[in-house]
Amino acid sequence: MSEPLAGLRVLEHSGDVATRYCGRLFAASGAEVIRIAGGDDARLGYAGEAGRAYGAWLDQRKRVVDDAAAEGPFDLIIAGQDGRAVAAAETFRTSRPERPSLLALTWFDPEGPYGAWRGTDEIIQALCGLAFAFGEAEGPPMLSQGHAAQVVGGVTAYNATLAAVMSAPGRRPGRIAVNILEANLCFSEPGAVATRADGTTATRMGVNRFSPTYPAGSYRTSDGWVGITCLTPAQWRSFCGLIGRPDLGAEPRYATSYERLMLADELDPILISACLTHTTAEWLALGGKHRIPTAPMPTPGELPREPHWAARGAFAPVGDLDIQGPTLPYRMAFDGVRTPRWSGDPALGPLAGMKVVDFSMGWAGPLCARTLGDLGADVVKIESDDHPDWWRGWEANAEDRALMEMRHNFLGVNRNKRGVCIDLTRPEGVARAKALIAGADVVIENYAAGVLEKLGLGQAVQRALRPGIVSLTMPAFGAVGPLAGLRAYGSTVEQACGLPFANGEAHWPPCLEHVAFGDPVAGLYGASAVLTALAGRERLGGADIDLAQVACLFQLGADSIVAAEVLGEPLPRTGCRRARLALCTVTAVRDGWLAVAAENDAMAALARVAGAASEEALRDWAAPLAGADAAARLQGAGLAAARVQGAHDLTYDPQLMANGYWVELERAVIGRHLVPAAPFSFDGVRPPLRRPAPTLGQHTDEVLAELV
């Protein structure tokens, strides 16, 4: 891949994994990144040599210096992850004659009640709703391994910051602010607004059991593991036929995925036994033939040598170490048709004036497009009466149209867009789509590999219509490679990424931590790919982007992949415990659960609060307290702690309420409803929410009239 960010100069002034990962993204795309030395990498990831190897992966293509005073000029300074570090970076920035933009990447918004709290990846998991639903039904909730929360914060910051610094000089913000908590709400915002509207409460249903999907888990085969997801009635019936049990497919009690989930205890033994009758490769072939989302499940250490990922160049050597680490999860091919850099607008957003045609459905693609819309782009979402967005309803013709306009997950991820109805199965619909593409800067789609080509609207057609366009396709396994044709959901993406073998307890099967973990992550990386290509369009031209959603999760699991290379496999599955922390646990409190993560230097504080520096003392001390009270006392003493929140808690969270993260919009059919704000701000102001999610075809006449 060419270097679209060549010429951009970035300073990492301070930080932990999130800031270093953000810098890594800039460096990987060609920016010159200089990092001020500091920190002990042996305290990262799996600790020791594995931690140092992970630090080397974070710092690839950077230059590390002891003092940056003589360096520069810089376009951007990355700082974080607490107030003192940001303040020091701001002092450095004001000393510079070029006045670079400053990215303040912190654990929490410093103005809210959590502003001075200690953060860790585990505390973010507890607060954002991820941990609550992960684990055995009777508890305690499970904390996943690694630095995924910080990586999500890093890519969110990259998206906002790259758009900002690529605006015309004089229009760039002085400060871009991103906090890791809000960035990680991408996983739980649909559940948060839905439970608020419905008055329901999130539950933890057990290992590999997430509402509303069943089956969506890992199954042992005759030679390994396979991930299988059945959501639609057709998928379930096909799977039942494959295992020789068509009676299960015809049984009314198992008709819907939610009903099957409620009866999982009686279905699990049948499915577990059936999957042992074939090899993983045989299940992949059967799943592909019968259109059932099916995934191979390699361990973290096996991933770099899997033929599909080797063919895509998904891994590369880490420095001079004899190990492999993940590369960027997308590939770009530039067309050489140069387009002037966009100007942006401080009031309307850095991407003001950019036009995006959004063919995507569900979660991953729509979140990518929403991010561009939040940054100011004009996003036109294409659906049809017969093929509306999946998140309006699975069976288009069977759905009540009023109910289709009231799905809160759809409303949140599709705000700041205009909606058009175009039937892509009809010649006149294809002609209208082509006319939209001819006037666009960006096209996004997340269909299975090859679908848009069959409709006559593939990337080659797009480029003929609009030389210089940036075109993103984002199938689960990418557009090319031996596994490119596999069908997938967000669960499939997680099943294939290696993380199920890193998280959870040793006696569990490989486990998922979310119903569709891969979806929002792929959406964020889709936006990063588009923004990176746009940044290079002035020198390199437009780009075809081939993104593999599974490879996006390699970024979140890079510490486990690197550790498997350093330590060998199998990696230990240790539940909430970590080699890098003196104490990491979830303990019961009066009204739920409390997460605590403490390094060695915090154990003395635990002794002062709980009477002894031990997990047993913490458990006895916390049990009679309310979770919020216990967390506040521990944080006040200098320990990272937080109440474990469910999705139903998030719209009432005092930090998020204080900082205006939840916004009410007015819309036809549903009226006033909550949606999340953008998880970033420019010079203290969040991007405006210009419009609610469109009703089906709401802007068809308006948009088509603009083509005349």
User: 471 to each of 187, 448, 487, 520, 527, how far by Cα in Å?
Assistant: 25, 15, 21, 19, 11
Cis before 346 (ω within 30) = no
Bridge partners, residue 421, by sequence: 383
Identity of the amino acid at 482: P
* CA proximity to 381, closest of 366, 402, 362: 366
Which pair of tokens denotes residue 557?
Answer: 């699991």
User: 209 to each of 324, 410, 491, 515, 538, how far by Cα in Å?
Assistant: 33, 22, 11, 8, 47
The bridge status of strand 640-643 relative to strand 662-667 is unpaired
pLDDT of residue 525: 98
Dihedral over alpha carbons 304, 292, 359, 482 (to 10 degrees): 30
Number of helices and strands in the chain (H, E): 28, 24
Report how far residue 702's alpha carbon sits from residue 707's, in angstroms, rounded to the nearest whole number.
Answer: 9
Bridge partners, residue 598, by sequence: 583
Q: DSSP labels for 10-66?
A: EEE-S-SHHHHHHHHHHHHTT-EEEEE----GGGSTT-HHHHHHHHHHHTTTEEEES
Q: In the sheet that 592-598 helps form, which strands lie side by side, from edge to edge?
A: 583-589, 592-598, 640-643
Is this prediction's pTM over 0.85? yes
The list of the chain residues with pLDDT below 50 reads none
- Identify the structural domains of the chain with CATH numbers, from first to last: 216-296 (3.30.1540.10), 330-558+685-705 (3.40.50.10540)
Q: DSSP labels for 156-174?
A: HHHHHHHHHHTSPTTSS-S
Identity of the amino acid at 526: G
Q: How many CB atoms are located within 10 Å of the residue 624 CB?
A: 10
Contacts 24+ apart (CB under 8 A), 598-607: 598/639, 598/640, 599/43, 602/118, 602/638, 602/639, 602/640, 605/634, 605/637, 605/638, 605/639, 606/634, 606/637, 606/639
Q: How many CB atoms are located within 10 Å of the residue 347 CB?
A: 9
Backbone angles phi, psi at 225, to 5 degrees: -135, 150
**Dihedral angle sign, alpha carbons of residues 260, 261, 263, 269:** positive
Cβ–Cβ < 8 Å for 695, 401:
no
Cβ–Cβ < 8 Å for 676, 412:
yes
Q: How many CB atoms are located within 10 Å of the residue 706 CB?
A: 13
- How long, in residues, is the chain? 708
Cα 483 to chain centroid, rounded: 22
Identity of the amino acid at 381: K
